[in-house]
Amino acid sequence: AVTEERVAAALAEIAGDEFEMGPMAQGPGGLAKVTARVKVNQPHVRRNLGDTLTFAIRIPLEIELIVDLRIDRQRFKVDGDIALRATARAAEPLLLVIDVAKPRPSDIAVHVTSKSVRGEILRIIGGIDTEIRRFIAAHVAEEVDSPASQQAKVIDVAEAVSSAWDQG
């Protein structure tokens, strides 16, 4: 009942496809305004069988980031992955619950590029890579706790069996 495909579908429902964030004030005195357009790609799930049923999940994403410093705007392209861990457990009456561990910034991998030397200097001095990882981890942690996420993490086995029986 808990297949890699079913877990991937539940996570795709939680993550969505695309969203925008900002503008958000960042840096000393909120001088910089940051806007991001985030595209969430299809999750990749690998099931691990052992004493418990666990899943290694990788969610690829693409981000278009704009940092507006008032005197100029720098654009960054970010490719990244969110690494999540999940465990399936039985619940009453016939439910399976997928518990997803909240990610830490170290669970987020990003590759940030800019088309200008000024952008690369800003990226290094401003610690943009670290801030992106921290922000994504915090955002995903909020999503894991959201009511929609809580619903998507529950698989009704009785309903799945009933619908398979009706189709068969």
pLDDT digits (tens, 9 = 90+) for 11-28: 777 666 788 888 888 877
What pLDDT score does 16 carry?
67
Of the candidates 139, 23, 132, 146, the one whose C-alpha atom is nearest the C-alpha of residue 77 is 132
The parent domain of residue 128 ranges over 4-167
Q: Is the pLDDT of residue 54 over 80?
A: yes
Q: Is the pLDDT of residue 1 over 60?
A: no
Number of domains into which the chain is organized: 1
pLDDT digits (tens, 9 = 90+) for 58-108: 999 999 999 998 888 999 999 999 999 988 888 887 788 888 899 999 999
Query: With b meaning 16 or more CB within 10 Å and e meaning fewer, what string describes 79-112?
Result: ebbbebebebeeeeeeebebebeebeeebbebeb
**18 neighbors 37 (Cβ within 8 angstroms):** yes
CATH classification of the domain holding 65: 3.15.10
pTM of the prediction? 0.79
Rg value, the chain, Cα: 19
Distance from C-alpha of 121 to C-alpha of 144, rounded to nearest angstrom: 34
pLDDT digits (tens, 9 = 90+) for 35-48: 999 998 989 999 98
pLDDT digits (tens, 9 = 90+) for 109-138: 999 999 899 999 989 988 889 888 988 888
